[in-house]
């Protein structure tokens, strides 16, 4: 998979993409992540990328020309399955969307900033808009990190245990059941006996029951009918 990210602040990605699962995925050659600074496509000597909004109002808006020039340069090098803009009013990211995007080959992600981007970019160049939650961030960079992580971690070969991602919360429409590790008895706090029984069928049954209970208690509004299993659009 190839992920190209367009941003005004490329240095914000150095930490998240240099550690843990995202680092290993890149080292294994399972994903290539490229970060591009939109300012490099600004044409004036000050590398200006924002301007005041027409009609007045507070804040600045990312200008259309640098962003479009950047996108067109990227599109000249490869064909993208999706050009994604991270926006508070986009479709809410869930595991089903992550599954779908993990099947793609080339993704282009645009990070907005300030009061957002010129609407004409959204209308004519963006193919999909995604939000990571009903709140506002200072820019799309942190959202891009979240989206990238949700996609990359489920690519085949990324996790050492291939079944790990399949048992994540939301993969089957439920949150994950409780998890325990050693020691069995910590200051009188004991692990449920069923998990030490060695009976795989009963353990699986217990975990499913616990997932149902936890989902009903903590996420009763979770949509169990959303498309999550196959990742096929």
Given a cut of 90, whether residue 8 has pLDDT beyond it is: yes
CATH-assigned architecture of domain 2-152: 3-Layer(aba) Sandwich (3.40)
Summarize pLDDT for 181-228 with one digit per residue, the tens.
Answer: 999 999 999 999 999 999 999 999 999 999 999 989 998 877 543 443
Cα-trace Rg, the chain = 21
Q: Where are the domains of the chain?
A: 2-152, 169-218
- Separation between Cα atoms, residue 192 and residue 28, nearest integer Å: 38
Q: Which fold has domain 169-218?
A: 1.10.1270
Q: Which residue in 40, 100, 113, 46 sits closest to 71, CA to CA?
A: 40
> pTM for this one?
0.84
Count other C-beta atoms under 10 Å from residue 209's C-beta. Answer: 11
The DSSP symbol for 128 reads E
Residues 6+ apart with CB under 8 A from 158: 21, 24, 25, 28, 30, 31, 152, 165
User: For 23-72, how does the pLDDT look when each residue is reduced to its tens digit (9 = 90+)?
Assistant: 999 999 999 999 999 999 999 989 999 999 999 999 999 999 999 999 99
Question: Element (H or E) spanning 64, and its range?
Answer: helix 64-77
Q: What is the pLDDT of residues 127-168, one digit of tens each?
A: 999 999 999 999 999 999 999 999 999 999 998 755 455 545
């Amino acid at each position: 998979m190839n992920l190209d990210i367009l941003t005004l602040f490329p240095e914000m990605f150095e930490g998240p993409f240099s550690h843990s699962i995202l680092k290993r995925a890149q080292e294994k050659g399972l994903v290539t992540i490229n970060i591009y600074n939109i300012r490099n496509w600004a044409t004036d000597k000050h590398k200006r990328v924002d301007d005041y909004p027409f009609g007045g109002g507070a804040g600045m808006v990312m200008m259309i020309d640098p962003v479009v020039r950047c996108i067109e340069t990227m599109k000249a090098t490869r064909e993208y399955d999706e050009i994604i803009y991270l926006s508070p009013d986009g479709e809410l990211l869930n595991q089903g969307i992550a599954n779908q995007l993990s099947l793609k080959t080339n993704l282009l992600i645009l990070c907005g900033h300030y009061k957002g981007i010129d609407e004409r970019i959204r209308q004519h160049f963006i193919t999909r808009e995604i939000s990571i939650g009903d709140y506002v961030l200072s820019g799309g960079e942190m959202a891009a990190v979240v989206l990238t992580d949700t996609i990359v971690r489920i690519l085949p070969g990324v996790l050492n245990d291939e079944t790990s991602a399949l048992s994540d919360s939301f993969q089957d429409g439920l949150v994950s059941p409780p998890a325990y590790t050693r020691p069995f008895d910590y200051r009188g706090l004991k692990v449920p006996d069923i998990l030490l029984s060695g009976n795989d069928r009963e353990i699986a049954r217990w975990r499913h029951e616990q997932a149902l209970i936890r989902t009903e208690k903590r996420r009763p509004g979770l949509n169990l009918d959303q498309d999550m299993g196959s990742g096929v659009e």
